[in-house]
Structure 1
């Protein structure tokens, strides 16, 4: 019998949130050697070199529990400094340029930032943690600030994917947490589609929190990664929407498929914290959606973005009826402050829809 996501209400215990701080299944086996830089984009090769050196520097530091030298290094001024290539190109020694405790990968969607971040995580000896920004803020909500700082304070590395500051509370929270962790000797790495100094811009009165944003940025060196979206490089256009009958037939033909009305699923997401979206789709092997329509409400759209990320993390194919996935977010949303999130979601969903089209021909 085909399952429905709207019938699922997963519960995630706090200790499970900590244990789950590892790269998602799609990135479990990635390594620097498997990253294929675009020859036309030298910043991609430079990113591999710089991150490899960063991993060496972290691994060369003292074992956790004896991090006094790393705490001393973390006190250097400046947050999102430039010139990261010069800082690391000479090697991982203490005298090789700046030694900020973090690296921040900035670039458009689809250039492989998550692949690079996960490769860095795999290259660093444990203990270590990897999570999205949403997962980390959810962890603080579940455990409390002090317990989260203790749980992460013993790590060699904390890797944060999809770093965003969407409200003042998150700004103060993450600034305080990451400052605490860096002072404790934890190396930091993050990816984002937004330059550090622009975090929060257009989302709230960022100028009122400039000190927090600047203080957070001073913990990182910025590494720019340029390029086109690799998910669609040289590939055919995403498949068109299917008929409702085809969607239902595909769901029935594949074990582990889910089948939902798009509007009902969006309403269901509103009752679940985004930290549960991964558990919502765990074990699902195909997501079938009926009646996809353009999303106009920003709150709904941001929930769809998180769901798209969790589907992509788990490589779950998607088949859908209704409008094309390229029409999922309207022009007003795409012109707003979260446009890069929406563009990333469309890119990822298109890749999953392409996987779904392959299933239709092989079922």
Structure 2
């Protein structure tokens, strides 16, 4: 399951223009490989706390999804049930948001009813994110949608109390890909969701692990297990079964491109980037994962030279986040070196983060196919 590139002539012809990267020689178009290309390693994205809050919306890939655009597989009844239950949950949130607050001259305002949550559990590529984003689109605001790392970074930027203050008036907090990467983040997120639910905020999350199994095989401390189980009680679990739609019925991914092919395609893409895989891995270590989205904003193609299978856990987890941000923005990936389905070694795939690596592999192969 590897990667190929489109014929060079077709790429150059489609990209000819005033960028200075494509020129002509007689009647034949050629790519100017000496023209400067953009590099992710040269970028230094900065995201303010206010921008972090404003950015809590579904990513571009899911900006237009709705319940009406979700197509349950006929042979997977859990998908139709999930769609029905999420639509009912959205109606419940909307009805409660429209209910006027009880007021009286001498009556103390009633405490808000505790917010409830739904938890979408299932494998990769069964439409959990589609359903979560559809729920967000369906309910009235204010509301927030983000990944686990985006919320933990928000707490780091604003402080816990300020984050609760800013989000406690929301109707819904949606958390995509709830994962337990770090014990400290686990405690922060558990406290945040608990405080917001107490304030009446409804919660929705996706993951590839049942909520009462989160952290299994990763942490031994008994107090973390207690935190995780307390969190799971906030959610009604909705199972979503099925095969990974991103690769259903598709042939094996084609072979990696050559270095020259990657350079030619990068030169023909005015908004594409070209990076050495090792250099970009080093650059990612210097950036907080919350900045990876801004890092790739505006990029139309990510071109990577010399991809090598990752053996280090920290490096692997950074690439998981970057691949998620590339996937959110539908940015094709063109690469040379090792096959993209071997990006994470078997040792990493046997680790406690196995499901993250498998999801990232599924997504990067989809982006490779998007590259054509």
TM-score computed with the length of structure 2 as normaliser: 0.86
Aligned: 1:71 with 2:86? no
Task: Give me the whole-angstrom Cα distance separating, in 2, the residues matched to 1:296 and 1:126.
Answer: 43
- Deviations 1:255-291 (Å, cap 9, x if unpaired)? 2000000011011000000000000000000000000
Task: Give me the whole-angstrom Cα distance separating, in 2, the residues matched to 1:229 and 1:188.
Answer: 25
Partner of 1:36: 71
Partner of 1:242: 257
CA separation of 1:43 and 1:330: change in aligned 2, threshold 3 A: same
Aligned: 1:58 with 2:55? no
- Deviations 1:125-167 (Å, cap 9, x if unpaired)? 1110000000000000011001100111110000000101222
Shift of residue 214 of structure 1?
1.4
1:336 to 334, 338, 351: 351
Shift of residue 62 of structure 1?
3.5
Partner of 2:58: 23
CA separation of 1:46 and 1:299: change in aligned 2, threshold 3 A: same
Q: How many aligned residue pairs are there?
A: 331
Runs of 4+ in 1 over 4 A off after TM superposition: 63-70
Please provide the CA RMSD for this pair.
1.5
Task: Give me the whole-angstrom Cα distance separating, in 2, the residues matched to 1:256 and 1:168.
Answer: 39
Aligned: 1:174 with 2:200? no
Task: Give me the whole-angstrom Cα distance separating, in 2, the residues matched to 1:104 and 1:196.
Answer: 8
CA separation of 1:327 and 1:69: change in aligned 2, threshold 3 A: farther
C-alpha contact (below 8 Å) 1:140/1:148 kept by paired residues? yes
Task: Give me the whole-angstrom Cα distance separating, in 2, the residues matched to 1:165 and 1:8.
Answer: 29
- Deviations 1:309-348 (Å, cap 9, x if unpaired)? 0000000001000011111011111111111110110110
Task: Give me the whole-angstrom Cα distance separating, in 2, the residues matched to 1:320 and 1:124.
Answer: 40
* Unpaired segments ≥5 residues, structure 1: 75-100, 358-363
Structure number with the bigger relative contact order (C-alpha 8 A, sep ≥ 6) is 2
Q: Secondary structure at the match of 1:194?
A: coil
* Unpaired segments ≥5 residues, structure 2: 1-35, 103-108
Shift of residue 206 of structure 1?
4.7
Shift of residue 204 of structure 1?
2.0
Which structure: greater helix fraction? Answer: 1
- Deviations 1:197-226 (Å, cap 9, x if unpaired)? 111222222533222111111110000111
Partner of 1:48: 83
1:274 to 278, 285, 289: 289
C-alpha contact (below 8 Å) 1:167/1:200 kept by paired residues? no
CA separation of 1:248 and 1:254: change in aligned 2, threshold 3 A: same
Partner of 1:12: 47
Task: Give me the whole-angstrom Cα distance separating, in 2, the residues matched to 1:196 and 1:340.
Answer: 14
Aligned: 1:2 with 2:31? no
Task: Give me the whole-angstrom Cα distance separating, in 1, the residues matched to 2:279 and 2:155.
Answer: 29
2:171 to 132, 156, 172: 156
C-alpha contact (below 8 Å) 2:97/2:140 kept by paired residues? no
- Deviations 1:111-134 (Å, cap 9, x if unpaired)? 111001000000111110000000
C-alpha contact (below 8 Å) 1:167/1:203 kept by paired residues? no
Structure showing greater Rg: 2
C-alpha contact (below 8 Å) 1:259/1:289 kept by paired residues? yes
CA separation of 1:346 and 1:64: change in aligned 2, threshold 3 A: farther
1:351 to 348, 366, 370: 366
